[in-house]
Amino acid sequence: MIAISPYQLFSLMVLFQIGTTIIFGFASGAGRDAWISASASSLIGSALVAGYAAITKLNGYVSLVGCLRKRLGKWAGTPLAWLYVLVFIYEAARGVSDLKFLVPLTILPETPAWFFTAAFLMLVVYTARAGLEVLCRIAGVLLPVLIAFIILETLLLVVSGSLRFEYLTPFFSEGYQRVAKSIWPTGIMQSYGESIEMTVFWFVLNKRGILGRISVGATLFAGFFIVLFDVLSITTLGEHIFQGRIIPAFIVMRLVSVADFLENLEAVGSLYFICTIFVKITVHTLAAALCMRELTYASKNNAAIWITACFTYVIGLTMASNFSEHLKAGIEITPKTILVPICLVLPGIVLSLSLFEKAKDKRAAR
């Protein structure tokens, strides 16, 4: 029987939620108030994740597919479960598309996109075939390493005198509208809404009683680092550069300069990006494969993993012709048209039905 520890789940969720947001600049549309949007999104996102945990608990710690079938019935729950599989594959393909555009801009400018994305997906497939326990162990090792690098980067920026905290003021200089726009729906749905995928894995937690605390704690912890990266980016680059650059995190790395000894730590930015996107794509792939296996009553995950990886590769390489189009779809289109119905509306219906059934059982018990 597969079992994962609270620390492993915590690590997996933190890395998944951080994802590529620290590279792109979370809520950059809010300018110097981006950290406020990020903070509010984290708080609301933790409430959303708490709702997911409640769904799992109220339905006897079954998987996402089991929850949908139990509350919506076989005829409605099964097609909707397949819809989640398609969304998970699409999200994995968006991760591959991130790789396609960002890797040539950062570390491998001359390498064809089809080659390094294929190599990366082979690593994802290998890890997914090894199983959820192996992925969680990897996350448990990666998290403290990344935290150490983030702390080191912050200290180096402080020592180098690159931070200008006056860039954060005045607060709400252009009103509350752009802050609110950055929070809803993109700020909440990105990373936090996507955490609906974790309901595929939660039933294997070895200490189920603390699921809510672990999931909400991981969300707030990830949110802290997202806010920190926004603060570092704004205080080093200023509002206009932060808003105008596609990957502000890499520019921040270049500003580190301590006694002409430590300079241009772009390799650290590449480490953040590669580690977190590896975890995120692997989670997407494994979640889709596990749901597919449960829906088809297959005995093993291997076929579902390979099918998911193949679709992910093809869609990821063909879904956008340029980076601007890719970003626009991720920020403006996907959250409204896909994530809100999948990550908010449907879970809201399932949670309402679960609470109604629990109240009904309590009345019957009296």
- pLDDT the model gives residue 262: 57
Q: What are 1-12's pLDDT values in tens digits?
A: 678 999 999 999
Asked if the model's pLDDT at residue 258 lies above 80, the reply is no
Q: Which two tokens stand for residue 295?
A: 């829906």
Asked if the model's pLDDT at residue 28 lies above 90, the reply is no
- pLDDT the model gives residue 56: 94
Q: What are 284-302's pLDDT values in tens digits?
A: 999 999 999 999 998 888 9
- pLDDT the model gives residue 1: 60
- Owner of token pair 């769904």: 55
Q: How far apart are CA 34 and CA 264, in angstroms?
A: 25
Percent of the chain at pLDDT > 90 equals 57
Q: What are 307-322's pLDDT values in tens digits?
A: 999 999 999 999 888 8
Q: How far apart are CA 106 and CA 128, in angstroms?
A: 26
- pLDDT the model gives residue 346: 95
Asked if the model's pLDDT at residue 338 lies above 80, the reply is yes
Residue 261 — pLDDT band, cuts 50, 70, 90?
A: low
Task: Tell me what the mean pLDDT of segment 90-100 comes to.
Answer: 93
Q: Which positions ≥6 away from 191 have C-beta within 8 Å?
A: 16, 17, 18, 19, 21, 45, 222, 226
- pLDDT the model gives residue 267: 67
Residue 259 — pLDDT band, cuts 50, 70, 90?
A: low
Residue 150 — pLDDT band, cuts 50, 70, 90?
A: confident
Task: Tell me what the mean pLDDT of segment 98-111 comes to.
Answer: 83
Task: Tell me what the mean pLDDT of segment 14-31 comes to.
Answer: 84
Asked if the model's pLDDT at residue 167 lies above 60, the reply is yes
Q: What are 268-285's pLDDT values in tens digits?
A: 677 778 888 999 999 999
Q: Which two tokens stand for residue 259?
A: 């006694």
Asked if the model's pLDDT at residue 264 lies above 60, the reply is no
Asked if the model's pLDDT at residue 266 lies above 80, the reply is no
